[in-house]
Amino acid sequence: MSGWLVILLMWAVTYPVRLLGLSLGRLDLPPFWLAFLKFVPVSVFAALVMPDVLGSPEWPRRLVAAGVGGALMWRTRNLGLGILGGFAAYWAARLLGV
């Protein structure tokens, strides 16, 4: 099959899923499902972070980065600073042979 056709089919299964979620905002939901949606960010962010740190082949360095970055963000509530500090810690650990 030609490349562009495969690409358009990939788009055809991605876009409607994104649209569907955004289209269900006005549903009247029972309290359980409202609570469910409130926990989605916590749950999703944790699921995005943990495998990327602990499941990485270079997990010791990434653990150092997450520790330093997380602590910085906890103290300062500044995302940019946390990323920068965490990245610096990652490189420090890498150069030190961790």
For position 96 contacting another protein by CB under 8 A, the verdict is: no
8 binds another protein (CB under 8 A): yes
Count of beta carbons in the 10 Å neighbourhood of residue 87: 13
DSSP string, 41-69: HHHHHHHHHHHHHHTSTTHHHHHHHHHHH
Cα–Cα distance for residue pair 43/53, rounded to 1 Å:
16
> Which residues, 21 to 80, sit near another protein by CB under 8 A?
21-26, 31-56, 61-62, 65-66, 69-70, 73-74, 77, 79-80
Residue 92 engages another protein in binding (rule: CB under 8 A): no
Q: Which two tokens stand for residue 49?
A: 């972070």
Footprint on this chain of another protein (rule: CB under 8 A): 1-15, 17-26, 31-56, 61-62, 65-66, 69-70, 73-74, 77, 79-80, 82-84, 86-87, 90-91, 94
